[in-house]
């Protein structure tokens, strides 16, 4: 132990001496003062040896300081062009370096600082050495004499720079362990994800089978589905909404959650305005939602829509998805919120103003819209049944377009419900009337039987015929499509009065003009005949929603340009 302390002390003194430039080397007396003498457990030869080695190094350094100085050539890599001179040099050198890519670089230079000589050229006055390292190879020649580093550069033997594979990697056991370490967690996560997906699909299948079993009580509702449009971009929010519905509940979230909706939603931008209020795009839990804000004077519409959306089994892929309703206060004003799914393409009215349609797009819009109307008009019998619903305000602005090209029906502020078993019809207390441009003749001349639910369904069919006319005008055939125009655009003002519409529709019995080009296209010609049956003057002659759907399916099936996918 004493010897070890002596060595530590010796190294410390040498370090201080080198740093300060003084040659105060430890002596035997110094060691004795530190308690290290010949009586120690270890012999004192190692410290003496260290003193001798460091003394030799220092004497060599002193001799180097007094050596003759030379002139050398100097140039920079990679090609050593542009030679310069280096003066007052202790040694000259030239080198060649080859990196791992096989690229060689050459350079010349000199060493002027004595302390650098051992590190660059080694202890000998002239040396040449070649070494390989992880970055490639290098060779260096050192010499003494004026311009002695002139001439050719050191030679490097050919080398294979492909990295050597570690011995352990070639071991099969090592490879197997490495593969298991990488693939194991991936396979485990994949298995967990597969199990979760399987359980979710099975739950969804059970819910779907229960709904179908309930629908089997009605032969009309059980008819073949033609266009079961998948919700575009199913989101986490939508899955959450699906899970939030218990069997027998209405559409939307539980009432307790709805009462806090307004506090959880931040309004981003206003996307529409109307007589009822405004529609905003909001953000709820990172998902976009549509927020319909009613004026306080329109509370009856808000109540009616909330009531209709809460109807059991109303939820359908072609009915606007409902999230909840809430009442809040902003800027000392009461606001009535109706929160639904958000569809960035907007209404069918906006969509038709933006773009023309192919036959396939036209059929997808018409079939999805009539699917929604069939679902509304059909009563589902049973303890958890659904009443028949008449919309009473069908128009292109109340039909929204999803990202996949299908449609959903919205705005149920004027809806009427009917239960066949009891004969009860709920018209609601909303005094607001429908849109005048889409009013049927019997509504305009006030001959409608308000006590018969079928009368309200026929009003929907008349308005739906006008929507079909709007869609077909924007459908391209033979490279031609008309500009978008609302129904009766050439017969009434932009904001027609009740009397304007009554004169045109009831007195003159006029309808929108069917373009001549439709006659040369089998599909559009068939659509024209269908439209005329929808807007017939006599309500009893108009087709039912289910008959319209079957006619559209027949037209689509006979059109080679329409690719009907029964599973999409």
pLDDT in tens, 545-557: 999 999 999 999 9
Distances, alpha carbon 55 to alpha carbons 17, 24, 90, in Å: 12, 11, 21
Residues 232 and 277 in one domain: yes
Residues 90 and 232 in one domain: no
Q: With cut-offs at 50, 70 and 90, classify the pLDDT of residue 436.
A: very high
Residue 184 placed within a domain? no
Q: Cα 58 from chain centroid?
A: 70
Q: With cut-offs at 50, 70 and 90, classify the pLDDT of residue 179.
A: confident
Residues 470 and 491 in one domain: yes
pLDDT, tens digit, 9 for 90 and up, residues 223-259: 333 333 333 333 444 444 444 433 334 556 665 556 6
Token readout for 312 is: 């059991």
- Cα-atom radius of gyration of the chain, to the nearest Å? 45
pTM for this entry:
0.58
Q: Which of 65, 83, 111 is the last residue of a domain?
A: 65
Residues 6+ apart with CB under 8 A from 544: 377, 457, 461
Mean pLDDT of 51-71: 61
Residue 169 placed within a domain? no
Backbone angles phi, psi at 341, to 5 degrees: -65, 155
- Torsion sign (Cα): 305, 306, 311, 312: positive
Task: Determine how many CB atoms are found less than 10 A away from the CB of residue 296.
Answer: 12
Residues 7 and 117 in one domain: no
- Torsion sign (Cα): 142, 143, 144, 145: negative
Residues 57 and 102 in one domain: no
Q: With cut-offs at 50, 70 and 90, classify the pLDDT of residue 502.
A: very high
- According to the model, what pLDDT value does residue 100 have? 79
Distances, alpha carbon 533 to alpha carbons 54, 437, 516, 518, in Å: 114, 18, 18, 16
Residues 271 and 131 in one domain: no
Element (H, E) at 338: strand 333-341
Residues 346 and 464 in one domain: yes
Q: Which of 124, 143, 162 is the last residue of a domain?
A: 143
Number of domains in the chain: 3
Q: Lowest-pLDDT range, 79-88, 357-366, 390-399, 529-538?
A: 79-88
Plot region of 244 (φ>0 → left; ψ -120 to 50 → alpha; else → beta): alpha
Q: Lowest-pLDDT range, 20-29, 328-337, 354-363, 536-545?
A: 20-29
Residue 372 placed within a domain? yes
Tell me what the pLDDT averaged over the chain comes to: 80
DSSP assignment of 379-410 equals -B-STT-B-EEE-S---GGGEEE-TTS-EEE-
Residues 272 and 289 in one domain: yes
Residues involved in catalysis: 393
User: Hey, which residues does 94 pair with through a beta bridge?
Assistant: 108, 141
Q: What's the longest Cα–Cα distance across the chain?
A: 135
Residue 106 placed within a domain? yes
- The SS3 call for residue 541 is helix
Residue 197 placed within a domain? no
Shortest CA distance to 299 belongs to which of 334, 266, 268?
A: 334
Q: Which of 25-39, 114-128, 288-302 reaches the highest mean pLDDT?
A: 288-302
Domain holding 89: CATH number? 2.10.60
Residues 323 and 419 in one domain: yes
- According to the model, what pLDDT value does residue 51 have? 47
Residues 6+ apart with CB under 8 A from 184: none
Tell me the pairing of strands 84-89 and 104-111: unpaired
Residues 6+ apart with CB under 8 A from 34: 5, 6, 9
Q: Which domain holds residue 111?
A: 70-143
Residue 86 placed within a domain? yes
Cα gap 23→10, rounded to integer Å:
13
**When comparing pLDDT for 383 and 560, which is higher?**
560
Residues 396 and 527 in one domain: yes
Residues 31 and 122 in one domain: no
Residues 241 and 254 in one domain: yes
Check: CB of residue 405 under 8 Å from CB of residue 365. yes
Q: Which of 44, 65, 86 is the last residue of a domain?
A: 65
Cα gap 437→463, rounded to integer Å:
9
- The SS3 call for residue 278 is strand
Q: Residue 32 pLDDT > 60, yes or no?
A: no
Residue 78 placed within a domain? yes
Q: Residue 67 pLDDT > 50, yes or no?
A: yes
pLDDT, tens digit, 9 for 90 and up, residues 285-341: 999 999 999 988 888 889 999 999 988 889 999 999 999 999 888 777 888 999 999
Q: Residue 61 pLDDT > 90, yes or no?
A: no
Task: Determine how many CB atoms are found less than 10 A away from the CB of residue 30.
Answer: 16
Residue 491 placed within a domain? yes
Cα gap 263→260, rounded to integer Å:
6
Q: Residue 563 pLDDT > 70, yes or no?
A: yes
Domain holding 498: CATH number? 1.10.510.10
Return the axis-axis angle of helices 545-557 and 522-534, rounded to nearest 10°: 170
Check: CB of residue 404 under 8 Å from CB of residue 363. no
């Amino acid at each position: 132990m004493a010897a070890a302390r002596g060595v530590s002390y010796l190294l410390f003194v040498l370090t201080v001496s080198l740093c300060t430039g003084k040659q105060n080397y430890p002596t035997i007396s110094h060691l004795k003062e530190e308690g290290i003498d010949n009586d120690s457990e270890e012999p004192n030869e190692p410290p003496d040896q260290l003193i001798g080695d460091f003394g030799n190094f220092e004497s060599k350094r002193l001799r180097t300081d007094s050596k003759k100085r030379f002139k050398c050539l100097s140039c920079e890599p990679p090609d050593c062009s542009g030679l310069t001179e280096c003066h007052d040099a202790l040694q000259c050198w030239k080198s060649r370096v080859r990196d791992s890519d096989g690229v060689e670089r050459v350079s010349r230079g000199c060493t002027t600082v004595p302390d650098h000589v051992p590190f660059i050229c080694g202890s000998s006055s002239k040396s040449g050495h070649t070494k390989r390292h992880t970055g490639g190879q290098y060779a260096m020649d050192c010499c003494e004499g004026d311009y002695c580093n002139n001439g050719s550069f050191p030679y490097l033997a050919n080398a294979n720079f492909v990295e050597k594979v570690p011995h352990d990697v070639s071991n099969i056991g090592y490879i197997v362990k490495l593969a298991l370490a990488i693939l194991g967690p991936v396979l485990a996560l994949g298995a967990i994800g597969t199990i979760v997906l399987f359980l979710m699909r099975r739950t969804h299948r059970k819910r779907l089978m229960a709904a179908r079993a309930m629908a089997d009580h009605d032969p009309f509702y059980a008819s073949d589905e033609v266009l079961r449009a998948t919700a575009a971009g199913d989101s986490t929010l939508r899955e959450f909404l699906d899970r939030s519905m218990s069997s027998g509940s209405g559409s939307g979230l539980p009432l307790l959650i709805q009462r806090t909706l307004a506090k959880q939603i931040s309004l981003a931008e206003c996307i529409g305005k109307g007589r009822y209020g405004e529609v905003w795009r909001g953000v709820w839990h990172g998902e976009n939602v549509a927020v319909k804000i009613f004026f306080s004077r329109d509370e009856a519409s808000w109540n009616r829509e909330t009531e209709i959306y809460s109807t059991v089994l109303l939820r359908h892929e072609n009915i606007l998805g409902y999230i909840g309703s809430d009442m809040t206060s902003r800027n000392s004003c009461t606001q009535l919120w109706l929160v639904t799914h958000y569809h960035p393409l907007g209404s069918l009215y906006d969509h038709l103003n933006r773009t023309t349609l192919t036959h396939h797009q036209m059929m997808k819009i018409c079939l999805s819209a009539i699917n929604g109307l069939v679902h509304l008009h059909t009563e589902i019998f049973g303890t958890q049944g659904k009443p028949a619903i008449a919309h009473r305000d069908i128009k292109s602005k109340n039909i929204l377009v999803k990202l996949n090209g299908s449609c959903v029906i919205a705005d149920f502020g004027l809806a009427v419900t009917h239960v066949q078993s009891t004969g009860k019809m709920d018209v609601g207390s909303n005094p607001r009337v429908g849109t005048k441009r889409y009013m049927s003749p019997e509504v305009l001349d006030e001959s409608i039987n308000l006590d018969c639910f079928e009368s309200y369904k026929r009003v929907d069919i008349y308005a739906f015929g006008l929507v079909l006319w709007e869609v077909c005008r924007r459908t391209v055939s033979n490279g031609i499509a008309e500009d978008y125009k609302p129904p009766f655009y050439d017969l009434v003002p932009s904001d027609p009065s009740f009397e304007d519409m009554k004169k045109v529709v009831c007195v003159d019995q006029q309808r929108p003009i069917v373009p001549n080009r439709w006659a040369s296209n089998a599909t559009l010609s068939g659509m024209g005949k269908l439209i005329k049956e929808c807007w017939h003057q006599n309500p009893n002659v108009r087709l039912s929603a289910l008959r319209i759907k079957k006619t559209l399916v027949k037209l689509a099936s006979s059109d080679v340009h329409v690719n009907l996918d029964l599973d999409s």
